[in-house]
A and B are shown apart, each in its own frame.
Chain A
Amino acid sequence: MPSSNHQKSAPDRISALPDELLLHVLYFLTMQEAVKTSVLSRRWQNLWASLMWLNFDAANSLPVLVPLDAFWISAACDNSDDSLDYSDIHPWIRHALDSKAWALGILKHSNPKPLAMEGYPFPFTSVYLKILGLCHCSIDDWVQCNILSALTNATSLTLVSPSVYEDVVPKVLRRDLPRCGTFSKLKRLHLGEWFLSGGCYPLIYLLRCSPGIEKVILQLDKICPRCKEATRTFGCEKLRKIRIYCHMQDGIRAKIIMFALSTHISPLPSIKIKPIRI
């Protein structure tokens, strides 16, 4: 053995610690460092796999071979160009989808630019997905993309893209709308600006496809009043709550949405308008 012959008598204090303390130690290591401890001795074999938190360097890690049930990315990035890129994340997303994960999300990354998913067609096609969260991502306009129509088993959808680049996402999503079947399990829907386009067409369309919907959150980050409306009512029996988040000065659009909703949905659920801080 190459290790410490001169100290053979000294006890191995660390391996005598209970699992939960060793995991506490591993928590402070990067995932790669934690995984490497498997080779120390039998005591350490696969200990890392019990870690509830994996702290990994996306750019330098490859997908683990353990299946993932749920996968959320929440990255703090600096402003440099080489910080986070979708190509770093894609192997993880792919792996999560291959493991039939039921929850997937890219959340809260603080890069000023949205994550560009160019060159990755059909990124979230999985019938196993029940929860999808996509924030601040951009998707190729020309890609035939069936994000929405592939999510027929979803119970919760978050589709928000509050950025200047956001027009691409809505275009892709909107083109995908007519392909959607019924979201029979969808209970919670959280939409960004794009739901307003075409006289609230995406919102109305999604509500019509979601007979089990219980809660709707509408987030208006921009300030710009313009909205047309269409007519034809339908009922959302289980819909209890609608929350609209908008700037204080944006009361006009909120009223237009209220009008659009009231002409379509009957009976009308409780609607609350809440201000967002700038």
Chain B
Amino acid sequence: MEVDKGKGEAEETRKVAEADRDTVTLKSSDGKLFEVSKEAAARLSTVLAGMIAGGSIDDNGTDLKQIGSEALENVVDYCNKHANSIPSAALISSSISFNTAPFKEPEEWERKFVDRLSHDALFDLVEAANFLGMERLLDVTCHKISEMMKGKSPDQIREVFNIKNDYTKEELEEIRQELAWAFYDD
């Protein structure tokens, strides 16, 4: 392919500069820019890792049209906090004793991180983590949601999450009977 020599060189320099930077700039659906450590982004998000490796990171802000600024801020915040955290002995030992488990429980700082989120912010963050392929952040957010369900009756769970019961009375009775062994202590 024929390329103008001057332009080619400029492109080259830009690419080198980009590779040298240790942060990447992400742009939310509403146009806000966020900086995140390249190392942490690549380690925690399979999607960002792929973009960094594939050179499709835009210096002026990589467009993430599916993610709003509040969720993206939380994603970036999480990456930066994660970069500075040292995994606890408990996490390491739990991964040894139960090393075939697909998911892992969150650390103390991760619990605090999601505890402060509003209901909507939590779900925005789950969706963002899913979109960006962030396994660890999915563990943390899904664990938080599971905690919101724990120890609650079906009615209470519906109330917490605004789930509409679309069963008929007869259907519900049938399901409860089918799964009676799970409801024996109700």
Mark A residues whose CB is within 8 Å of B. Answer: 1-4, 7-8, 10-15, 17-18, 21, 24-29, 31-33, 35-45, 52-53, 60-65, 76
Q: Are A13 and B150 in contact (CB under 8 A)?
A: no
Q: Is the CB of B149 within 8 A of A12?
A: no
Please judge, given known A-B contacts A3-B163, A12-B161, A39-B154, whether A33 and B149 are in contact too, CB under 8 Å. Answer: yes
Cα A63 to Cα B126 with chains together (Å): 33
Residues of B within 8 A of A62 (CB): 181, 184
B159 within 8 A of A: yes
- Which residues of the partner chain A approach B150 to less than 8 Å between Cβ atoms? 29, 33
Least distance between A74 CB and chain B CB atoms (Å): 8
Q: How far is the CA of A65 from the CA of B172 in the complex (A)?
A: 18
The interface residues of chain A lying within 8 Å CB-to-CB of B103 are 24, 27-28
Residue interface bits B144-186, CB-to-A below 8 A is 1, else 0: 0111011000110111011111110000100110110111110
A14 touches B161 (CB 8 A): yes
A45 to chain B, nearest CB (A): 7
The docked-state distance in angstroms from the alpha carbon of A87 to that of B119 is 43
Q: Is the interface of A mostly helix, strand, loop or mixed?
A: loop
CB-nearest residue of chain B relative to A2? B155
Q: Select one of B123, B149, B165 contacting A29, CB under 8 A.
A: B149
Q: How many residues on the B side are at the interface (Cβ–Cβ under 8 A)?
A: 43
Closest to B173 in A: A39
Using A4-B159, A15-B161 as known contacts, say yes or no to A42 and B166 having CB atoms under 8 A apart: yes
A36→B159 contact, CB < 8 A = no
Assembly CA distance A25 to B142 (angstroms): 5
Query: Is A12 within 8 A of B163, CB to CB?
Result: yes
CB distance from B68 to the nearest CB of A (A): 14
A15 touches B163 (CB 8 A): yes
Residues of B within 8 A of A29 (CB): 146, 149-150
List the A residue with the shortest CB-CB distance to B101.
A53
A76 closest partner in B (C-beta)? B97
CB distance from A238 to the nearest CB of B (A): 30
> Are A37 and B162 in touch, CB under 8 angstroms?
no
Determine whether the beta carbon of A41 is less than 8 Å from that of B102: no
Q: Of residues 117 to 134 in B, which have CB atoms within 8 Å of A's CB atoms? A: 119-120, 123, 126-127, 130
Q: Is the CB of B157 within 8 A of A13?
A: no
Give the Cβ gap from B115 to chain A, nearest Cβ, in Å: 15
Task: Say yes or no for B143: interface residue by CB 8 A criterion.
Answer: yes
A41 touches B120 (CB 8 A): no
CB contact between B166 and one of A11, A41, A53 (< 8 Å): that residue: A41
Residue B114, interface by CB 8 Å: no
With both chains docked as a complex, state the minimum distance between the C-beta of A14 and any C-beta of chain B, in angstroms. Answer: 4
B163 in contact with A39 (CB, 8 Å): no
- Assess the A21–B162 pair: CB atoms within 8 A: no
**CA A12 – CA B165 in complex, angstroms?**
11
In the complex, B26 has a CB within 8 A of chain A: no
